[in-house]
Amino acid sequence: MRTSAGPPDDDVRETARTGADLLGPTTDADPAYERFARLVQAYLHVPVALVTFVGPDGQRFPGALGLPEPYQSRRGTPLSHSFCQHVVARDRPLVVSDARTVDLVRDNLAIPDLGVIAYAGFPLHDREGVAVGSLCAIDDHPREWTHDELEVLQDLALACGSEIRQREAVALADRREEHARVLLDLSEAFTRTRTPHDVLDAVERAAIELTGASRAAIGVVRGDMLEWVRHADVPGGPPTLWQREPVTNRASPAISAMLGRRPLLFDDAAQMGAAFPLVAGVGGPGAAAFLPLTTSTALLGAIVLRWDGPRTLTGVLGDLVVTLASDASTAFERAQLLESRTDVARTLQEAMLSRLPEPAGVTLEAAYAPAEVTEQVGGDWYDALELSDGGFAVVVGDVTGHDLQAATLMGQLRPMLRSLLWEHDKPPSRVLELLDRANVGTGLQATATAILARLEPPTPHGRRRLTWSNAGHPPPFVRRASGEVERLDARPDLPLGFVPERARTDSSVNLRPGDTLVLYTDGLVERRTGDLPGALDRAQAELARAGRLSARRVLDGLAPPVERHDDVVVLTMRLDDADVTPAAGDPAEPR
């Protein structure tokens, strides 16, 4: 930060009178600047040599030799004891043989308190060429400075200035590196967001953690109003502060920034109140930033940042808040588009999950849940269809993908399968072969896994045969009335979309009253870590421990929301209990 060189020359005497009782600022010794002081003392043979930096509160000596106490220990004096302030203010050398005879400094308290009689000082410049301090030689007796002495002092001052500028360059590089890191963190934070709520959370975190703001508020455009969806209490703020307001209200700085599509930055509350009397005196004396959430085609909302005290909202901090608004706008628009697409896809997907039939002697239940983490949609579906011979078919499938395209393909594949089931009284394997041909032949070319099962009408003993064909899908489970759980893990055929060279296969099992078939999609058991066989073993054990099964209980038990990274469908089919006594010689169930 640039500092003042001190009071003008005409004010020196007044400064001396008002600051004589002050010891001035302190600083630490700096090894590099100490070396310059030693060189001055050695080459010019003076009792006192100083590297001085001048500020509005006094002067500091990071390099100092020969000062009387307490100034040598404190390494600073008030401006009432400063000759160097004149070097800085005038940006030229000051050479004095006897200060007691020179009007400019004759009343300076450095004469009696520090013993400054003869003084020679040359300015030190920063990287912008501004004088910030002085390299000086001091004697406590009158002295005529020689030409050679002054040339040496000038050369040392130039070398000391190079040290100053090098340090500034390093500090600037460090600040730029830190700034780049902060901007990268900000970009990554928004990249991880998926929903509008995620973006709002990221904005609030960035406002506090990255910009140092004490409060943040976020408004979102809804219709023709700006609605403040995130805000904190403001001490002394009116009750109407966060009420909805028309987006045409240019008296509001937030709306003005949004309509103008440019940030409004105020270093303190006085600037803010002068520009927008509507908010004068609201929220304390600190700086304020009103940032638009806009794109080239839409007004999305606004961000308000407030700091407890004044801030200079230019340079690094200004760049940061402007970048915050830009990145937040992009992320918020993307999140809104994703949410809109997701809503459309979910509506389409849920419309395809039709109401289940209620065949006699069987209880069918289905449950569907979207992925809680990604909030994506996919092609998971289930269906059940009563057949003309008294049996019925059930299917659970999963079209490849997690997007609107997958849901659309599922919406075409499902009715295609229903039609084939109704028109062809054939085993599940044959129906899936017909579906494969139609899928490829019509150009749909959906890739999917599926389990298609056909439940035959009951025998006089209550037993019902279930025949199924597996197109690359996870194996079903059967929980017997006794509580035992079987995995129907006959080797699966290829998924749909890959017309196999050999015929698809069927498997069958007998079911009795009280038995429950469990069909599901892979989101029920698969996790980002762990293997599928282990997951199937755990699912089988969990189903054995559970009480009476239902689709919802199975879904909640095996795929709670915090572990759900994919859409999940569960279909359970339970043969109702009946007072049936198996006849002698009832054939064993095929395995």
pLDDT digits (tens, 9 = 90+) for 398-447: 988 766 677 678 778 888 888 888 888 899 999 999 998 888 888 888 89
Q: Number of helices (H) and strands (E) in the chain: give both, helices first.
A: 14, 22
pLDDT of residue 32: 93
Residue 147 pLDDT grade (very low, low, confident, very high; cuts 50, 70, 90): very high
pLDDT of residue 192: 66
Residue 575 pLDDT grade (very low, low, confident, very high; cuts 50, 70, 90): very high
pLDDT of residue 85: 96
Mean pLDDT for all residues in the chain: 84
Contact 582, 461 (CB under 8 A): yes
Residue 387 pLDDT grade (very low, low, confident, very high; cuts 50, 70, 90): confident
Task: Tell which wins on pLDDT, 56 or 195.
Answer: 56
pLDDT at 10 over 50: no
pLDDT at 540 over 80: yes
Over the range 508-536, which residues count as b (16 or more CB within 10 Å of their CB) and which as e? bbbbbbbbbbbbbbbbbbbbeeeeeeebb
The C-alpha atoms of residue 174 and residue 156 are separated, in whole angstroms, by 27
Q: What is the DSSP letter of 339?
A: H
pLDDT at 191 over 70: no
Task: Tell which wins on pLDDT, 530 or 211.
Answer: 211
Q: Which residues pair with 395 in a beta bridge?
A: 383, 452
231-277 confidence digits (pLDDT tens): 877 777 777 888 899 999 999 999 999 999 999 999 999 999 999 99
| Residue 454 tokens, joined | 């056909």
Contact 119, 104 (CB under 8 A): no
169-189 confidence digits (pLDDT tens): 887 776 666 666 666 666 666
Following DSSP, what letter does each residue of 147-178 receive, concatenated? HHHHHHHHHHHHHHHHHHHHHHHHHHHHHHHH
Residue 9 pLDDT grade (very low, low, confident, very high; cuts 50, 70, 90): very low
Rounded to an integer, the average pLDDT of 349-373 is: 76
pLDDT of residue 24: 75
Rounded to an integer, the average pLDDT of 206-215 is: 81
pLDDT of residue 151: 95
Residue 95 pLDDT grade (very low, low, confident, very high; cuts 50, 70, 90): very high
| Residue 232 tokens, joined | 């904190």
Q: How far is CA 229 from CA 214, 232, 343, in A?
A: 18, 10, 21
pLDDT at 145 over 80: yes
109-141 confidence digits (pLDDT tens): 999 999 999 999 999 999 889 999 999 999 999
pLDDT at 6 over 60: no
pLDDT of residue 532: 83
The C-alpha atoms of residue 453 and residue 488 are separated, in whole angstroms, by 12
286-331 confidence digits (pLDDT tens): 999 999 998 878 899 898 999 989 988 887 788 888 888 888 888 8
Q: How far is CA 50 from CA 91, 124, 136, 460, in A?
A: 17, 12, 5, 112
pLDDT at 348 over 60: no
Rounded to an integer, the average pLDDT of 70-77 is: 93
Over the range 112-140, which residues count as b (16 or more CB within 10 Å of their CB) and which as e? eebbbbbbbbbbbbeeeeebbbbbbbbbb
pLDDT of residue 375: 44
Rounded to an integer, the average pLDDT of 74-88 is: 95
Is the full-model pTM beyond 0.75?
Answer: no
The C-alpha atoms of residue 580 and residue 3 are separated, in whole angstroms, by 98
* Beta sheet of 448-455, edge-to-edge order: 379-386, 392-399, 448-455, 464-471, 507-511
| 455 HSE (CA, 13 A, CB side) | 26
